[in-house]
Structure formats: C-alpha cells, structure tokens
Amino acid sequence: MHPLPDFTTARRLLTDRRGGFRDVLIALIVVSIVSVTAAIAAPTSTAIMTATTSAAERLSAATALVDDRRSSTPWGTVAAPRTVDLILPSGTHATALTWSEPGPGGTTYRAMLARSVRVPPTACKTADSASDPQCVLVSSFRADDVTTLVPTAILRMDPSMAAPIGQVDPSVKKDAVPVPTGGTLAAAQPTTNRAWRYLVRAWSTRPSGELRIMQSGVRLATIPLSNAPTNYFGTVSVLAGTPVTFIVTDGPAASDTVLVYDAGATQ
C-alpha cells in the first residue's frame, strides 16, 4: 500500500517562519488596496503631468520670443501689445502677447502666454495680466548697442540706412559714388555757436586725396584720404548763421558714412 502524497496545503504555503496565515492574508489585502488606490490616482497624475508639460512648453515658447533678436517678432507697447500666433511642439495653437519697455541703458522685452488651454479666453489679454498666475510671462533686458547709443544726429547716412538725416549727398551710400574735386558730401547750418563731432568713412580713388570741413571760407578741419576706406573723426567749433560743408578738395573721393552730432555749446 502506497502512502498518500504529502500535499502542501494553502495554509502551509502562506506561512513562513516570521508570520502566520493571518499575517499573510492581511498583507495580501493591503497590497490589493494599494493597487486600487494607484489605479484611481493614475488619471489625476496624468492630468497634473499634462498641465506641467503644457506650462513648460509655453514657458519655452515665450523665452524663444524674447531671445529672438530678429526684427520678425512684432513688439508692441505696454498700452498696445502685439499678438503672435504660435504652434507649439505638441501641435497646440497658442497666442502670445509681446511688448517692449524702453528704459535707461536698454529695453526690456516681454512675452506672455496663457499657462494652458484650460485658461479662460479672457485672461492674458493685456499687459496688466502679467501678475496673473494663469499666465506665463518671460522678460529679457537688452542693453543699448552701438547703433542705439548714437546721439541725435545733425547729419547721418551709413550703409544701414535707407535715407539720410539732414542734407547728405546721394553719392554717400553703401555703393558709394566718387565725387569730383569741389563736390560737397554733406552740409548743415548751425543755429547757435556749438561744438560738433563728426565721423566720416571715406577714401580716395587715387593714391591720396583730401576732404575739408568749411564754414564761411574758413577751414575747420582737413581730412587727408588714403585709397583704402578709413574712419576719420574729430570735433569742430561752428558758428551760427552760415552752412558748414564737407567738401572734396582733392578728388575724386567717395564716402559711405557721414555722421555729425552736437557735442555742446561753445563760448
């Protein structure tokens, strides 16, 4: 007669050296509760993650706008911001509000978007919404550079400009046209006795040449020109009442830059 197999009961399988059958059952119940709780919390966690991703995406888009130094971004004012339509990496459409605020030494650029698609359409529509937690705001300060630091010009023309300030001859341009001896590059008439600073980028079509700044037959400055484009600068004292002229006295000579600005009063 064969002995019966030693079948292992469920009680024995679920019993170890440190706990009994009741302990294991309690552990199984706890695990089941945790699993159900995790399943219930999953949609909430997904919603939080989606909202966080949306805000980060919009923050990145706003940062890209204020970091873009190209003129393609339309910058409005605090009173009248401009709008920029965006397509975010997720494929979501968003509208950004952009404006600039000039200040001492530079300009602050700001871009603002709604934090997510759940933000009401009426929010984030004006610069006053900058403090609204429903909006994402990014600011960037840019210091003035050499072009924006130029003082108010009396005469100005250079390759960056489409038209001159003041009386500058059409020959002064990016593709400068040589002016013969006796030709006038620029002229201006002071209304009071002043000191003027000038910058002229010029060259002779010959090995050497000359340009003079004149007023009422008086030579205020002489600029000797070489045959390579060179920047010449200095200060002259001018009197009220008669024109100050930049004349080619030994030509032909050409110039693509003329800048004259006020440097203060003289006795």
Range of the domain at 111: 53-143
199 and 134 belong to one structural domain? no
% residues pLDDT > 70 (the chain): 76
Whether residue 37 has pLDDT greater than 60: no
Contact between 109 and 66 under an 8 Å Cβ cutoff? The reply is: yes
Q: Can you give the pTM of this predicted structure?
A: 0.49
Query: Average pLDDT for residues 17-22, to the nearest whole number?
Result: 51
**Coil, strand, or helix at residue 161?**
coil
User: What φ, ψ does residue 36 adopt, rounded to 5°?
Assistant: -65, -40
Query: pLDDT band for position 11 (50/70/90)?
Result: very low
Per residue in 108-135, is it b (16+ CB within 10 Å) or e — as a string?
Answer: ebbbbbbbbeebeeeebbebebeebeeb
What is the CATH number for 182?
Answer: 2.60.120.260
Helix and strand counts by DSSP (H, E) for the chain? 2, 13
Q: Is residue 260 part of a domain?
A: yes
Is residue 124 pLDDT above 70, yes or no? yes
Pick from 45-59, 119-133, 163-177 the range whose average pLDDT is largest: 163-177
In this prediction, residues 203-217 reach a mean pLDDT of 96
- Look at 70-79, 82-91, 162-171, 253-262 and tell me which has the smallest mean pLDDT: 70-79
133 lies in the same domain as 59? yes
The answer to whether residue 181 is domain-embedded is yes
Could you tell me if residue 29 is inside a domain?
no
Looking at the structure of the chain, the number of domains it has is 2
Q: Is residue 136 part of a domain?
A: yes
DSSP state letter for 127: G
Give yes or no: residues 256 and 157 share one domain. Answer: yes
In-domain check, residue 128: yes
Q: Domain for residue 228, yes or no?
A: yes
CA atoms within 13 A on the CB side of 266: 16
For residues 136 and 178, state if they share a domain.
no
Radius of gyration of the chain (CA): 38
> Same domain, yes or no, for 174 and 261?
yes
Q: Are the beta carbons of 254 and 171 closer than 8 angstroms? A: yes
Closest CA to 246 of 154, 161, 121, 130: 154
pLDDT at 234 over 60: yes
Instruction: Write the burial class of residue 35 (CB in 10 Å: 0-12 exposed, 13-18 middle, 19+ buried).
Output: exposed
Residues 134 and 159 in one domain: no
138 and 157 both lie in a single domain? no
Distance CA 204, CA 30 (A): 94
What does the pLDDT average to over 128-152? 81
pLDDT at 47 exceeding the cut of 50: no
